[in-house]
């Protein structure tokens, strides 16, 4: 082997080591950056490590999305290495030559370049795995903070509701006594009627607060979600028709009953349906779907209405939060829904995009003793 040949081989090995070092540095420096940025930096690094960088192009494909060097084309020769994340193949990294070169180990590529692309793919897979783990952790932390806030609000509202209930009951009771004592005084009757009406409204708000804080007592029976949906739509169906909203029901016949308070489940369903109607002032589609999956009943309520902004999506379950006009809503509807789902050891999640629509996904745990008693 000539001196020139040894020198050339040494230069190639140095390029490969520099490539791996640069990728390692990249993982340290951009560990918290978006993964797309890392991909484009990796592409810039690896094309310099191959034997003919001037005709080298590269591509990373992950979950069907491609990230490439500028004017990428597969040229005349290419080599690939799979991206394996959590033992699942989800893409590959590819290096190409745009011009024909003499056949060496693997087409025109060196044996060391096969080892290099495998190592780069392995490093990149590990980076993707770490990135996704961080993102999942952020989501979980956000959900935990939200749950903690709701728990604190629940304790606070339970205390407020309890303190207000007693004096409010006295106001209502004395007002009704005055009403019965002076039946002929028309002006007084009119004023007392307003006091009673306002007191009843306040009592309803307190009742909803108690539900949100899980302070309310519950009469539990066997409840079928499909029956509750049908009952709710019986009352609201005409309104949907008038407002040009098409109801799409996809109700599974396989779901069993659950042990719950029928009134509260009805409240959950009707609240979500009414919210969807409000979100579609110009009409649209309202989908109600039930299914059974992993011993959980899932209820999806989906509309193609106005959607919820990113700023508001994390506030919608807070009591008294509303985006509607003042006086048209108490802002307790979704907080009550959340409280009921929590009391049933169920869950509720929401996905929404402005001008696209909103999807609520509710999960009710099935009582295994009732499993199989489907309707």
Residues 126-183: pLDDT tens digits?
888 888 888 887 777 666 665 555 555 556 666 677 677 778 888 888 888 888 888 8
Asked whether the predicted pLDDT for residue 289 surpasses 90, the reply is: yes
Q: Is residue 304 part of a domain?
A: yes
pLDDT band at 316 (very low <50, low <70, confident <90, very high): confident
Task: Dump pLDDT digits (tens) for 193-203.
Answer: 889 888 888 87
Residues 104 and 194 in one domain: no
Residues 231 and 295 in one domain: yes
DSSP class of residue 325 equals P
Asked whether the predicted pLDDT for residue 211 surpasses 60, the reply is: no
pLDDT at 331: 53
Give the domain-ending residue among 91, 119, 138. Answer: 138
Q: Is residue 333 part of a domain?
A: yes
Residues 318 and 231 in one domain: yes
Asked whether the predicted pLDDT for residue 372 surpasses 80, the reply is: no
Strand runs labelled E in the chain? 56-62, 65-68, 77-85, 88-97, 221-223, 245-251, 258-260, 284-293, 296-303, 347-353, 357-365
Mean per-residue pLDDT for 357-373?
Answer: 77
pLDDT at 152: 57
Mean per-residue pLDDT for 42-48?
Answer: 88
Residues 83 and 202 in one domain: no
The whole-angstrom separation of Cα 277 and Cα 241 is 11
Contacts of 278 (CB under 8 A, 6+ apart): 305, 324
Name the one residue in this structure whose structure tokens are 């597969």.
74
Give the domain-ending residue among 81, 113, 138. Answer: 138
The whole-angstrom separation of Cα 255 and Cα 263 is 19
Q: Is residue 256 part of a domain?
A: yes
Contacts of 235 (CB under 8 A, 6+ apart): 270
Mean per-residue pLDDT for 91-100?
Answer: 91
Structure-block tokens of residue 262: 């029928």
Sign of the CA dihedral running 142, 146, 152, 156: positive
pLDDT at 375: 41
**Structural domain span for residue 270:** 221-365
Report the greatest alpha carbon distance in the chain. 121
User: The CATH number of the domain where 119 resides is what?
Assistant: 3.30.450.40
Residues 229 and 357 in one domain: yes
Asked whether the predicted pLDDT for residue 66 surpasses 60, the reply is: yes
Q: How many domains does the chain have?
A: 3
Residues 165 and 242 in one domain: no
Report the percentage of the chain scoring pLDDT > 70.
Answer: 83
Give the domain-ending residue among 90, 105, 138. Answer: 138
Residues 133 and 42 in one domain: yes
Asked whether the predicted pLDDT for residue 327 surpasses 50, the reply is: no
Strand runs labelled E in 52-197? 56-62, 65-68, 77-85, 88-97
Q: Give per-residue burial for 246-260: e unless 16+ CB within 10 Å, then b.
A: eeeeebeeebbbbbb
| Local structure of 195: helix, strand or coil | helix
pLDDT band at 328 (very low <50, low <70, confident <90, very high): very low
């Amino acid at each position: 082997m000539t001196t020139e040949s040894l020198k050339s081989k040494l230069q190639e090995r140095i390029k490969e080591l520099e490539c791996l070092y640069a990728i390692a540095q990249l993982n340290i420096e951009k560990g918290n950056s978006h993964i797309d940025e890392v991909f484009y930096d990796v592409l810039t690094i690896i094309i310099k490590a191959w034997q003919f960088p001037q005709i080298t192009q590269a591509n990373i494909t992950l979950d069907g999305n491609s990230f490439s060097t500028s004017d990428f084309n597969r040229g005349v020769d290419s080599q690939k290495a799979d991206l394996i994340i959590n033992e699942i193949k989800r893409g590959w990294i590819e290096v190409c030559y745009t011009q024909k070169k003499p056949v060496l180990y693997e087409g025109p590529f060196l044996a060391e370049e096969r080892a290099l692309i495998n190592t780069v793919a392995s490093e990149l897979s590990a980076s993707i795995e770490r990135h996704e783990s961080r993102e999942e952790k952020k989501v979980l932390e956000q959900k935990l903070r939200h749950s903690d806030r709701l728990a604190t609000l629940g304790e606070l509202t339970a205390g407020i509701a309890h303190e207000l209930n007693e004096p409010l009951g006295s106001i209502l009771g004395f007002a009704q006594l005055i009403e019965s004592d002076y039946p002929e005084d028309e002006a007084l009757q009119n004023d007392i009627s307003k006091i009673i009406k306002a007191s009843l409204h306040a009592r309803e708000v307190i009742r909803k607060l108690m539900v949100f804080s899980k302070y309310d007592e519950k009469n539990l029976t066997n409840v079928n979600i499909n029956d509750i949906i049908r009952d709710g739509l019986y009352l609201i169906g005409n309104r949907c028709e008038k407002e040009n909203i098409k109801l799409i029901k996809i109700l599974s016949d396989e779901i069993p009953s659950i042990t719950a308070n029928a009134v509260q489940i009805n409240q959950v369903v009707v609240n979500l349906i009414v919210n969807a109607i409000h979100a579609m002032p110009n009409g649209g589609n309202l989908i109600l779907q039930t299914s059974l999956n992993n011993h959980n009943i899932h209820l999806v309520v989906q509309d193609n209405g106005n959607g919820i902004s990113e700023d508001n999506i994390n506030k919608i379950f807070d009591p008294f939060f509303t985006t509607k006009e003042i006086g048209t809503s108490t802002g307790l509807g979704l907080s009550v829904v959340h409280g009921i789902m929590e009391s049933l050891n169920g869950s509720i999640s929401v996905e929404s995009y402005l001008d696209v629509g909103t999807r609520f996904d509710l999960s009710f745990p099935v009582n295994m003793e009732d499993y199989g008693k489907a309707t």
